[in-house]
Amino acid sequence: SLRIGGQLHQRVSCFEGGQEQPLITQLDPAGNHNGGDLHFGPDGYLYISAGDGGGANDAFDNARFINKGFHAAILRIDVDKKPGSLPPNPHPAVHAGTYTVPADNPFIGATTHHGEKIDPASVRTEIWATGLRNVWRFSFDPPTGRLFAADVGQNLYEEVNLIEKGGDYGWSHREGLHAFDLGPGKDAVPPGFAPKVPIYEYPRTTGLSITGGCVYHGTKFPEFKDAYICADYAFGRVIVLREKNGRWEDEIIAFEPAITGISADPRDGELLFCNMAKGKIMWLAEIEPELEGVLFHENFEDTSVDARGWYDGKSVHIVPGGMRGNCIEYEWTDGSDSVTGSSAKRHLFEATDEVFIRYYLKLSKGWGWSGRSYHPHLTHFMTTENSKWHGPAASHLTLYIEPVNGKLRLAAQDIQNKDAPHGLTQGPLKGGYNGQMFDSADELFTDDSWHCIEAQFKLNTLDLQNDKPNADGIVRGWFDGKLVIDRTDVILRSTDFPNMKFNQFLMAPYFGPGLLPHAQKLWIDEMVVGTKRIGPLPRERRPAKAP
């Protein structure tokens, strides 16, 4: 925008060698609804959006014409003046000889528009699409070439359009999907008027000014792949639009007011957000909510795990490729029962009669199982009845969280009382030990993929007066956020252990002798142990300051 002789104009210019060459300088009757964006398309031509001239209700009667000026449209011009392109029709706004018009522009030679005859020499042949009130940002999706444009509404609706050659998007006879009343003295809707409909609209009750965005092709949020992401400047809603069976479904993923522009980072396809109020370039980031009841948290970003409360084995192999950075790796080589690289590690925590865990597990590509109804062992909880060095082979109570033949298994075992009638089952020995197993109904694990594993264990209460346990202990397991094991009738301790509580975690991946199918690896990341359910990594996002 600039003023010439005290009058407002909108100008498109080319800069080369520090010199400005104006291409179009359009007299602007008002200070709003100006040029909203410009981009080179995949065809090499320059696309430019122009508002309807401003005011309200199409005050200057520009939007429904293709032969008045450079208004209410997306333009397409050839700044390289390629062979075959045509000179523009004369107009006071045109700087003659500075650009040409692609020969396939849709309104070249037009003799009618909206049912009325027009002089083809007066047509703004630069127009690619018309009937747009105030486009605020448009973008091309490189893989498909589709052109998305966000059009700011008058009083009732904001909209997103897929722009097509020669498309009429309805303004000022329509606002979004709805008829718009221009008031008395304005032209009636022409017979046969059939504008292109927006792919998405939202009412002014949920937003006031749409900011167009881009189709997402980054890697941080695979669930957004091929989705269009835009925002509302006033209400701050960041909106994801996904196309399903020809319809577009929305999801609100964040709130950040004053977003004036969204573009893709050419380095990695992640989206960048311009926040005018904060004066910052921002990007999407996950928010880690403040978790309650956390006993310890480990993200395995470095080898200094002992400084964070771990003990026992000395080897820790930290590698990239985790959920948010690095992770811990365990590896078995051919013919070996023991893992290499990382050792078994333990962590004590404040004693509790109910414990939750969340961690992410990834099995290497081509993962093989033991071929038996058990192994590999993986992660365990022990209790205050055991020393800090007790493990699965020598404890009053060990709880197992592990994958077995594709299923999630939670198990409880009492080794020290395997020959006693009052072990963990408060009953006679069965099958060589006192224990119970709880498996998911379905095979869930896929190799070479991160899965979220969660478990809950709550000790049962005791009827000490009658010397018997109550069957009210809890064992629950979640796989990728879905509850797949749910038992609330479990006995985990007998009356011999009224003061038993959980207080130790052990991470010790193990295949029994001769059961390793072949060399393979697994990785663990983003572990949290607490007294309340943690849940999968948060999916709440917001534009955050870019580094």
* Whole-number Å distance between alpha carbons of 155 and 204: 7
* Residues facing 20 on adjacent strands: 15
Question: Other C-beta atoms within 10 Å of 402: how many?
Answer: 20
Which of 270, 243, 153 has the alpha carbon at shortest distance from 201? 153
Q: How far apart are the first and last CA of the chain?
A: 32
pLDDT of residue 436: 86
* Whole-number Å distance between alpha carbons of 439 and 447: 19
* Whole-number Å distance between alpha carbons of 64 and 193: 11
Question: Other C-beta atoms within 10 Å of 543: how many?
Answer: 25
**Is residue 531 a contact partner of residue 352, using CB atoms and an 8 Å limit?**
yes
Please list the pLDDT of the chain residue by residue as tens digits (547 residues).
899 999 999 999 999 988 999 999 999 999 899 988 999 999 999 999 999 999 888 999 999 999 999 999 999 999 999 999 999 999 999 999 999 999 999 999 999 999 899 999 999 999 999 999 999 999 999 999 999 999 999 989 999 999 999 999 999 999 999 999 877 767 788 888 999 999 999 999 899 999 999 999 999 999 999 999 999 999 999 999 999 999 999 999 988 999 999 999 999 999 999 999 999 999 998 776 678 899 999 999 999 999 999 999 999 999 999 988 899 999 998 877 778 889 999 999 999 999 999 999 999 999 999 888 878 889 999 999 999 988 887 888 999 999 999 999 999 988 877 766 666 655 554 554 577 899 999 989 999 999 999 999 999 999 999 989 999 999 999 999 999 999 999 999 988 889 999 999 999 998 888 888 999 999 999 999 999 999 998 754 556 544 3
* Whole-number Å distance between alpha carbons of 418 and 361: 31
pLDDT of residue 453: 97
Q: Which two tokens stand for residue 79?
A: 């700044």
User: Which residues fall within 8 angstroms of residue 516, CB to CB, at 6 or more apart?
Assistant: 332, 334, 335, 336, 337, 370
Q: Which two tokens stand for residue 208?
A: 């006031």
pTM score: 0.62
* Whole-number Å distance between alpha carbons of 80 and 514: 72
Domains identified in the chain and CATH numbers = 2-205 (2.120.10.30), 214-291+542-547 (no CATH), 294-530 (2.60.120.200)
User: Which residues fall within 8 angstroms of residue 204, CB to CB, at 6 or more apart?
Assistant: 153, 155, 156, 157, 158
Which of 312, 294, 310 has the alpha carbon at shortest distance from 352? 294
**Is residue 506 a contact partner of residue 380, using CB atoms and an 8 Å limit?**
yes
